[in-house]
Protein backbone atom coordinates (compact mmCIF):
# COMPACT_ATOMS: atom_id res chain seq x y z
CA UNK A 1 0.00 0.00 0.00
CA UNK A 2 0.99 3.62 -0.43
CA UNK A 3 0.21 6.28 2.20
CA UNK A 4 0.37 9.99 1.43
CA UNK A 5 0.95 12.68 2.41
CA UNK A 6 3.27 11.39 5.08
CA UNK A 7 3.54 13.22 7.42
CA UNK A 8 -0.05 14.46 7.30
CA UNK A 9 -2.06 17.06 9.19
CA UNK A 10 -5.66 16.25 8.34
CA UNK A 11 -6.26 13.71 5.59
CA UNK A 12 -4.45 10.47 4.77
CA UNK A 13 -4.83 8.75 1.39
CA UNK A 14 -4.23 5.01 1.11
CA UNK A 15 -3.64 3.65 -2.42
CA UNK A 16 -3.10 0.24 -4.02
CA UNK A 17 -5.53 -1.66 -1.83
CA UNK A 18 -7.58 -4.54 -3.20
CA UNK A 19 -11.21 -4.15 -4.18
CA UNK A 20 -13.88 -5.54 -1.88
CA UNK A 21 -14.49 -5.36 1.84
CA UNK A 22 -11.86 -3.47 3.80
CA UNK A 23 -11.16 -2.82 7.43
CA UNK A 24 -8.56 -0.37 8.68
CA UNK A 25 -7.14 -0.22 12.17
CA UNK A 26 -4.91 2.64 13.33
CA UNK A 27 -2.72 2.04 16.38
CA UNK A 28 -0.73 4.45 18.51
CA UNK A 29 2.81 3.65 19.69
CA UNK A 30 1.39 1.84 22.74
CA UNK A 31 -0.43 -0.61 20.46
CA UNK A 32 -3.86 0.80 21.31
CA UNK A 33 -6.48 1.02 18.55
CA UNK A 34 -7.26 4.72 18.11
CA UNK A 35 -9.35 4.53 14.91
CA UNK A 36 -11.33 1.87 13.08
CA UNK A 37 -12.88 2.05 9.60
CA UNK A 38 -14.90 -0.54 7.71
CA UNK A 39 -16.47 -0.29 4.28
CA UNK A 40 -17.11 -2.02 0.99
CA UNK A 41 -16.24 0.07 -2.04
CA UNK A 42 -15.10 -0.57 -5.61
CA UNK A 43 -12.13 1.81 -5.49
CA UNK A 44 -8.45 1.01 -4.99
CA UNK A 45 -7.93 3.99 -2.66
CA UNK A 46 -9.52 5.63 0.37
CA UNK A 47 -9.12 8.97 2.09
CA UNK A 48 -9.23 9.02 5.88
CA UNK A 49 -9.83 12.04 8.12
CA UNK A 50 -7.13 11.92 10.81
CA UNK A 51 -7.84 15.38 12.25
CA UNK A 52 -8.82 13.97 15.63
CA UNK A 53 -5.52 12.11 16.14
CA UNK A 54 -2.86 13.71 18.32
CA UNK A 55 0.51 14.52 16.80
CA UNK A 56 2.79 11.49 16.67
CA UNK A 57 3.60 8.25 14.87
CA UNK A 58 0.90 5.69 14.08
CA UNK A 59 0.74 2.19 12.65
CA UNK A 60 -1.98 1.21 10.23
CA UNK A 61 -3.30 -2.22 9.21
CA UNK A 62 -5.48 -2.66 6.14
CA UNK A 63 -7.44 -5.90 5.92
CA UNK A 64 -8.85 -6.66 2.45
CA UNK A 65 -10.99 -9.53 1.26
CA UNK A 66 -12.18 -9.89 -2.30
CA UNK A 67 -15.87 -10.57 -2.84
CA UNK A 68 -16.42 -14.29 -3.39
CA UNK A 69 -13.00 -15.22 -2.01
CA UNK A 70 -12.20 -16.95 1.27
CA UNK A 71 -8.72 -15.44 1.48
CA UNK A 72 -7.78 -12.01 2.76
CA UNK A 73 -4.72 -9.78 2.72
CA UNK A 74 -3.20 -7.73 5.52
CA UNK A 75 -1.05 -4.69 4.76
CA UNK A 76 0.87 -2.78 7.41
CA UNK A 77 2.48 0.66 7.27
CA UNK A 78 3.26 3.64 9.49
CA UNK A 79 2.56 7.34 9.20
CA UNK A 80 3.21 10.54 11.12
CA UNK A 81 0.50 12.98 12.17
CA UNK A 82 2.09 16.45 12.28
Phi, psi of 77 (to 5 degrees): -155, 175
The mean per-residue pLDDT over the stretch 39-65 comes to 88
Q: Residue 36 class from Cβ within 10 Å (0-12 exposed, 13-18 middle, 19+ buried)?
A: exposed
Q: What distance in Å separates the CA atoms of residue 62 and residue 60, rounded to the nearest whole number?
A: 7
Q: Is the pLDDT of residue 64 over 90?
A: no
| DSSP label of 52 | T
Determine the pLDDT at residue 59: 97
Is residue 29 a contact partner of residue 79, using CB atoms and an 8 Å limit?
Answer: no
Amino acid sequence: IILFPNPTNSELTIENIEFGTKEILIYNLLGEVVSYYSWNNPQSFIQLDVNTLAKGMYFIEVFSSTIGSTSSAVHRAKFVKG
